[in-house]
Copies of this chain bind each other. A is one copy, B any other.
């Protein structure tokens, strides 16, 4: 029997990421406090950031450029060099920030890596994500790290084919319905949804409803038991 191939999202699935962006948004609004209320500045940034995903992609460099564009637009180009320098410094700080692991992540991955092949599949900026994986100390638990531009059904399909496992043996674990769950279900794979406390508005999609192959957990701690169940289920379904 082929073992399960278990792929993990990284940001907000294995470690906290969103809080850094929330905090940066607050500091950005503070830099522009002479020009507008925090919530107005923040809304302007949101709009520019989402429009810029097409142009710049994901990641901290894109976010930094979006903050700079927002500062210029919002102030009719009157933003001072000090403000721009403050934004650049904010971005650089984010790039070298700690990677705060979820509780017990190392223990859980160590356990799982004894029974399953583990992959890390994350979208975003190559340099940033590789650096985060290195700083996380989790690298050794994964057979392979895949950093992709967008997590689409085709991207998952190619990945599964590359590792040569039957579709029914593939499980994706993540906190984003849009990126980790729905595209995997779309190609008939299994997905484990572990919601994060706050999820970026750009990533929010409607509810899951009743979808085959989809499981929701409150915590990574419940994953070993679920994977054991899925292993037995896969074994049964393979029996002629």
Bound: A35/B191 CA distance, A: 56
Asked if B80 and A65 make an inter-chain contact with CB atoms under 8 angstroms apart, the answer reads no
- Interfacial chain B residues near A56, Cβ < 8 Å: 61, 95, 127
Nearest residue (CB) in B for A56 is B61
- A79 CB–B CB distance under 8 Å: yes
Total interface residues on A, using CB and 8 Å? 35
Which of chain B's residues have a CB closer than 8 A to the CB of A189? none
Decide: A88 and B65 in contact? CB cutoff 8 A. Answer: yes
* A148 in contact (CB, < 8 A): yes
Interface residues of A in 102-161 (CB under 8 A from B): 124-128, 130, 147-149
| Whole-angstrom CA separation of A55 from B97 in the bound complex | 12
- A73 to B, closest residue via Cβ: B85
- Cβ-based interface call for A33 (8 A): no
**Residue from A76, A85, A96 having most chain B Cβ neighbours under 10 A:** A85
- Binary CB contact string for chain A from 59 to 71 against chain B (1 if under 8 A, 0 otherwise): 0011011001100
Count chain B CB atoms within 10 A of each CB in A57, A92, A130 and give the residue with the most.
Answer: A57
Interface set of A (CB-CB < 8 Å, partner B): 55-57, 61-62, 64-65, 68-69, 72, 75-82, 84-85, 88, 91-92, 95-96, 124-128, 130, 147-149, 162
* Pairs across A and B, CB under 8 Å, 22 listed: A56-B61, A56-B95, A57-B126, A57-B128, A64-B65, A65-B91, A68-B68, A68-B88, A72-B85, A72-B88, A77-B80, A77-B82, A77-B84, A77-B85, A78-B81, A79-B84, A126-B126, A126-B147, A126-B148, A126-B149, A130-B149, A162-B162
